[in-house]
Amino acid sequence: MTMKKTVQNSPYIIKGEKKKYAWCACGDSSNQPFCDGSHMKSEKFSPVIFENEKEGTIALCGCKQTGNPPFCDGTHSSL
Amino acid at 27: G
Q: Is 29 in the site for ligand FES (CB under 6 A)?
A: no
Write out the binding residues for ligand FES, residues 55-74 only, by CB under 6 A: 61-63, 65-66, 72-74
Q: Which is nearer to ligand FES, 13 or 18 (CB)?
A: 13
Determine contact, residues 63/3, Cβ cutoff 8 Å. Answer: no
Q: Which is nearer to ligand FES, 32 or 75 (CB)?
A: 75
Near ligand FES by CB under 6 A: residue from 4, 11, 22, 70:
11
Tell me which residue of 15, 32, 14 sits closest to 23, measured CA to CA.
32
Tell me which residue of 23, 28, 31 sits closest to 71, measured CA to CA.
23
Determine contact, residues 7/25, Cβ cutoff 8 Å. Answer: no
Q: Which residues of the chain form contacts with ligand FES (CB under 6 A)?
A: 10-11, 61-63, 65-66, 72-76
